[in-house]
Structure 1
Amino acid sequence: MSKFKIKFVDFFKLIFPSTGIELIVFLFFLVGYGYLGSYIAIHHKIIFDARIPWDAYFSFDNKSIVMTGGSFERHPLSYYFFNWIRELALLFSDGKMDGNFRFALAWLSNLAVSLSVLQVFKYLKNIIGLPLVFTIPLILFFGSFSTTILLSFTPENFTYTLLLLTLFHHYAAIKLKKEEKIPVLALALSGITIGGLTVTNIVKVFIPVAFEKGLFRSWKKFANAAFRVIFTCICFILLYLNRIDFKYENIFSKTNEQYEKFSNVNATPTWDMILSYFFGGNILFSNFIVRDKHNMQGYHYKGILMDVYSSWIPYIFIVVILGMVFWSYFKNFRNNLVQVLMISFIVDIIIHCIMRFGLHTSFIYGGHFVFVYPLLLGWLFYSYKQSPKILSFLTACFCILFVYLIANNYIRMTEFFWFLKAYY
């Protein structure tokens, strides 16, 4: 078998199910999310309505993203990606933006999220080496997050970012575990696709490179890593500039405009936005509020948003899960794979919690980091595999969290369907 053919086969084995249990996991979520998305697409118009460019539900910009890929300063290359998504959906709907069009968009999102869940499952099973008795509950826990539920039928940048980031972290973990470097073309492709959908995420592509074996002990290895990073940056910058006809001054003016717009919201205390929106809203649905919206062209419609938590129980839930995540980090501090995950998470914490960019709607950014939770919990369980008492304590805590998550998110989704039936 030729070297190219081997790499091609390995690539497909990386993305798609390669064992029986992986196929079962993938099909379970594909069918579950597929039923949810199909029902919403067929019976309601909220997934795509040409009159509603943004904010129909939870600040997602469905119509705007599908038609344009989003603003170039934040999503520089997504224009090209969503051209393909839109044309594929139009092919399915015979050129009409109707129920079939919404159905196709929902199933493309479903496929992306189901593959993302599969990547997390593969990481837990193959990289960490967790037994199925822990892996299955963790993957069901992750699959029940508010972010994965919403993105499973939402045509958005975050939907496909979730797939690309989970895929890259799994791939990078394989390379680090084998003590191999990430090839220059693989790094460049990752940087272009991940950074192209959301520009700040390109930083995460370079994090695993810093943990390659012997990088800072050999000038040759360091120079090789520097070349791969610089090559990736040059490719990305040239494609970015080509997208805006090399009018680079627009990047700074638009970026500053967006930062001012999304960083100066003070209606809610910062600590509450951090807990309820950034750390909490991506996992556990909070209260919903319905507001009047308009598309600036005379069409008025209703939008649904998340509010801060109104009970002390969700705050306890978030504090406990964060405690377990940071417990995992400090317990596995010397593990390079754990460092990669946490540093990637810290990038988003800096952007949204410290710089406050989009903090008031940070529940929609979950596709950038929410997969870190099940992976770090997986490392926590693994680190105590020889300590039955602590493992039993962790398992009991996790089971309580899991039951509450399922109950809360099920109730909130019934409220969401009430909103759909009332207005869409």
Structure 2
Amino acid sequence: MSSIKTKFIHFLKLVFPSTYTELAIFLFFMICYGILGSYIALHYRIIFDNRIPWDAYFSFDNKSILMTGGSFERHPLSYYFFNWVREFSLFISGGKMDASFRLTLAWLSNIIITLNIVQVFKYVKNIICLPLWLNLLIILFFGAFSTNIILSFTPENFTYTLFLLSLYNHYAAIKLKKEEKIPATALSLAGTAIGGLTITNFVKVFIPLLFEKGLFRNWKKFGNAVLRVTVSMICFVLLYLNRIDFKYQTIFSKTNQQYEKFSNVKSMPTWDMILSFFFGGNILFPGFIMSDKHNMKGFNFKGLYMDLYSSVFPYFFVILLLILIIWSYCKNFKNKWVQVIAISFFIDIAIHCVMRFGLHTSYIYGGHFVFVYPLLLGWLFFAYRSSPKIMSLLTLTVVVLFTYLLATNIFRMTEFFWFMEHYYK
């Protein structure tokens, strides 16, 4: 019993703030995101409107996700999770889908995204071991990302996926640092939770196993890893098949339909979508465009989408940030923690940039990988911790990027409020 109690306490310390600094960060972002989300929930109906199932803003499917969990071929187990979210929100609102319902949804998202910020801080503090002032700079930079801002009030799969991925990467990094293996139970839980919300993230759960000490030099360790992966996959597959009443043929037909639907957009240059949407839109807001939408039941509404960047400055921002990330990867190429992060990122690059799945709206997929940026920036600072001149240059660069990011995203959010004021009052 004492062992279970100890593990539970360790779990709580892993997930939630465990120091005064972490608590201060948690409260700071809770207040910032909370004010934003609360105002939107109380004054506008954009977070949840029974008449609008999808695409009210940036292609998020708030109502559809809350009511059904999303399509089973992409989000196989989210149906169960969002049943809890919906029922809890209805309990708080007294069974009404009103402002109180929207406020509850916004605060659930706020808490989860703030915990995601805390996880990234824990990683740079405990794994990379950077000075506090540098940790705070990286966290402030990360906290101003457009993905975090939008997801802080958006009830969507991406909101919870971002937190789970950052949490799991921190947990796996701790295990690698202690040279311990990730237990089969933890793998199964992570695979079910992360893969259940978005199936393409399922494989990411197993990446840290590749870097366990002596894995490829000891057949017993290798066999144990294969066994843990097998147990995790069996648990996930059985739950997935049970969700669809074991009608596995529908998985392939639906998946093919989704791929065809979201991979054949030719209205924009591919290179521009990659820079403006995949690498840029989930960090730095571009301009917005409106579109006339309908719910296929006679109700017309306005949808808001991100546009391609329209000036040289955003492109310069994105390219400079990518240079820092690539520099970090090259400099830390032999670092197993960096490889875990990078391989996870490469999976998303392959899906969206190479296979072009959802490339025209890839800014919404930032919840699958934006935590990679602050972590790789942290490792870049770590690599030059003994070089004051380069450290100063890197710090100045991040400060300039942060200043531009914050100013631009605040300005774009004023445009978002104009949109809500006119169409979602």
> Across the two proteins, how many residue pairs are aligned to each other?
424
Q: For 2:392 and 2:22, locate their aligned partners in 1 and report how far apart those are by CA, in whole Å.
A: 26
Cα offset, 1:133, TM superposition: 1.2
Q: For 1:399 and 1:99, locate their aligned partners in 2 and report how far apart those are by CA, in whole Å.
A: 38
Query: For 2:293, what is the secondary structure of its paired residue?
Result: strand
Match runs of 1:92-107 below 5 Å: 92-107=92-107
Query: For 2:302, what is the secondary structure of its paired residue?
Result: strand
Query: For 1:370, what is the secondary structure of its paired residue?
Result: coil
Q: Deviations over 1:355-392 (max 9, x none)?
A: 00000000000010000000000000111010011111
Partner of 2:53: 53
Q: For 1:86 and 1:78, locate their aligned partners in 2 and report how far apart those are by CA, in whole Å.
A: 12
Q: For 2:132 and 2:300, locate their aligned partners in 1 and report how far apart those are by CA, in whole Å.
A: 50
Q: For 1:398 and 1:103, locate their aligned partners in 2 and report how far apart those are by CA, in whole Å.
A: 34
Paired residue type of 1:258:
Q
Partner of 2:176: 176
Cα offset, 1:226, TM superposition: 0.2
Query: For 2:127, what is the secondary structure of its paired residue?
Result: helix
Cα offset, 1:397, TM superposition: 1.1
Q: For 1:407 and 1:112, locate their aligned partners in 2 and report how far apart those are by CA, in whole Å.
A: 24
Partner of 2:359: 359
Query: For 1:401, what is the secondary structure of its paired residue?
Result: helix
Cα offset, 1:396, TM superposition: 1.4
Q: For 2:259 and 2:349, locate their aligned partners in 1 and report how far apart those are by CA, in whole Å.
A: 16
Query: For 1:304, what is the secondary structure of its paired residue?
Result: strand
Paired residue type of 2:232:
T
Q: Deviations over 1:152-204 (max 9, x none)?
A: 00000000000100000000000000000000100000000000000010110
Partner of 1:270: 270
Cα offset, 1:399, TM superposition: 1.1
Match runs of 1:191-230 below 5 Å: 191-230=191-230
Partner of 2:386: 386
Cα offset, 1:351, TM superposition: 0.3
Paired residue type of 2:44:
H
Indicate whether 1:297 and 2:297 are aligned: yes
Q: What TM-score, normalized by structure 2, do the two folds share?
A: 0.99
Query: For 1:421, what is the secondary structure of its paired residue?
Result: helix
Q: Deviations over 1:305-345 (max 9, x none)?
A: 00000001100100000000010011011110000000000
Paired residue type of 1:199:
I
Match runs of 1:216-365 below 5 Å: 216-365=216-365
Q: For 2:92 and 2:33, locate their aligned partners in 1 and report how far apart those are by CA, in whole Å.
A: 19
Paired residue type of 2:242:
N
Cα offset, 1:291, TM superposition: 1.0
Q: For 1:326 and 1:12, locate their aligned partners in 2 and report how far apart those are by CA, in whole Å.
A: 34
Q: Deviations over 1:275-321 (max 9, x none)?
A: 00000000000010011110011100011100000001100100000
Query: For 1:4, what is the secondary structure of its paired residue?
Result: helix
Query: For 1:303, what is the secondary structure of its paired residue?
Result: strand
Q: For 2:128 and 2:318, locate their aligned partners in 1 and report how far apart those are by CA, in whole Å.
A: 24
Percent sequence identity is 69
Q: For 2:253 and 2:182, locate their aligned partners in 1 and report how far apart those are by CA, in whole Å.
A: 35
Cα offset, 1:411, TM superposition: 0.4
Q: For 2:135 and 2:163, locate their aligned partners in 1 and report how far apart those are by CA, in whole Å.
A: 19
Cα offset, 1:395, TM superposition: 1.1
19-28 or 393-402, which moves further after superposition?
A: 393-402
Partner of 1:165: 165
Query: For 1:245, what is the secondary structure of its paired residue?
Result: coil
Moved over 6 A (4+): none
Indicate whether 1:23 and 2:23 are aligned: yes
Q: For 1:113 and 1:341, locate their aligned partners in 2 and report how far apart those are by CA, in whole Å.
A: 19
Question: Could you say what the CA RMSD is over the residues aligned between the two structures, in angstroms?
Answer: 0.6
